[in-house]
């Protein structure tokens, strides 16, 4: 009897020793890329960025605890798109478990890694831009949410027409990555009997010339199609529209926050919150290529609170 008690005690001691010796599980490292905020402003469990806070809230709702089950590795371009390749390289070197990023950062991230899972919080045309093979079967290391830009082009033109009765052409700012959006805008304009003025640009250096072309053509209004290039130039584009006194319609709230007249599109904070679902599945072993890309569920209009006739200044 005494011998059995001694053996049982020895077994408990050995089990306890193994439990103590077992290393604690390290928190998952989630890379988070932003365009405008300073890194210090998006660090920790509570940040100054509403979209990042929405992501963190989504992770909390799924049972993740900051500092215990995960930590973030924030990176910011500080409004300089040329910094994205360096930021992408830093995240790869940091060996993060997953990266959450907006559309403008995706080309650099795609170039930097084909193995680290990437959750996009919004891309106008992820298939057309080559980020995924299809919405249903992404196939690579990128998945997440789209902006559903194609479906809102007609609605944005309609809202713009309610504000301004076009007496001249409606200028449309677009780049080669959103050719489908430009074609959709043409279709929507034809059905209303409106004439469009193409303002195609290849880089930010052509924006001034594009607005000069709109002025020369006496454009009545401006439609800015969703583009990673334009998103990073939101404040500049809004200022150019104001200078030319062009009533402008955008696809994201970001432009209104930086002085634009009005926007209609998805709620990006909601997209970031829903991105947490993708992160949760990936951290639990799911492959990004097997997770269908989702479209936004919440759309709403935004308008500038301070106007001088047509444009905010």
pLDDT in tens, 256-304: 988 999 999 888 899 999 999 999 999 999 999 999 999 887 788 888 7
Q: pLDDT at residue 310 above 50?
A: no
303-307 average pLDDT score:
61
Q: Is 58 in contact with 274 (CB distance < 8 Å)?
A: yes
Sign of CA dihedral 185, 191, 192, 197: positive
List, for residues 238-247, the tens digit of each pLDDT value.
999 999 999 9
Domains recognised in the chain with CATH numbers = 28-147+267-297 (3.40.50.2300), 149-266 (3.40.50.2300)
Query: 285: closest CA among 79, 64, 98, 20?
Result: 98
**Predicted structure pTM score:** 0.80
E strand or H helix at 303: strand 299-303
Query: Residue 101: in which H helix or E strand, if any?
Result: strand 98-101
What is the overall mean pLDDT for the chain? 88
Token code pair at residue 136: 């249903």
pLDDT digits (tens, 9 = 90+) for 59-96: 999 999 999 999 999 999 887 888 999 999 999 999 99
């Amino acid at each position: 009897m005494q011998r059995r008690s001694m053996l049982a005690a020895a077994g408990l001691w050995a089990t306890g020793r193994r439990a103590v010796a077992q290393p604690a599980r390290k928190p998952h490292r989630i890379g988070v890329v932003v365009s405008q905020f300073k890194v210090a402003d998006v660090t920790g469990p509570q940040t100054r960025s509403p979209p990042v806070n929405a992501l963190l809230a989504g992770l909390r709702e799924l049972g993740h605890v900051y500092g215990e089950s995960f930590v973030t590795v924030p990176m910011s371009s500080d409004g300089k798109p040329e910094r994205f390749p360096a930021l992408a390289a830093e995240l790869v070197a940091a060996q993060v478990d997953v990266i959450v990023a907006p559309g403008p950062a995706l080309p650099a991230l795609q170039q930097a890694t084909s193995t680290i899972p990437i959750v996009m919080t919004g891309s106008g045309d992820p298939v057309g831009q080559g980020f995924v093979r299809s919405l249903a079967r992404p196939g690579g290391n990128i998945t997440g949410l789209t902006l559903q830009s194609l479906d809102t082009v007609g609605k944005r033109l309609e809202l713009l027409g309610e504000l301004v009765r076009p007496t001249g052409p409606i200028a449309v700012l677009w780049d080669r990555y959103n050719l489908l959006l430009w074609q959709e805008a043409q279709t929507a304009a034809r059905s209303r009997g409106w004439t469009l003025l193409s303002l195609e640009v290849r880089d930010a250096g052509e924006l001034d010339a594009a607005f000069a072309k709109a002025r020369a053509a006496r454009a009545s209004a401006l439609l800015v199609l969703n583009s990673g290039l334009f998103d990073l130039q939101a404040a500049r584009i809004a200022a150019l529209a104001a200078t030319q006194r062009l009533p402008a319609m955008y696809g994201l709230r970001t432009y209104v926050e930086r002085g634009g007249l009005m926007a209609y599109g998805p709620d990006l904070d909601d997209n970031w919150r829903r991105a947490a679902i993708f992160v949760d599945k990936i951290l639990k072993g799911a492959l990004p290529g097997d997770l269908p890309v989702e479209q936004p569920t919440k759309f709403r209009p935004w308008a500038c609170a301070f106007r001088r006739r047509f444009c905010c200044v």
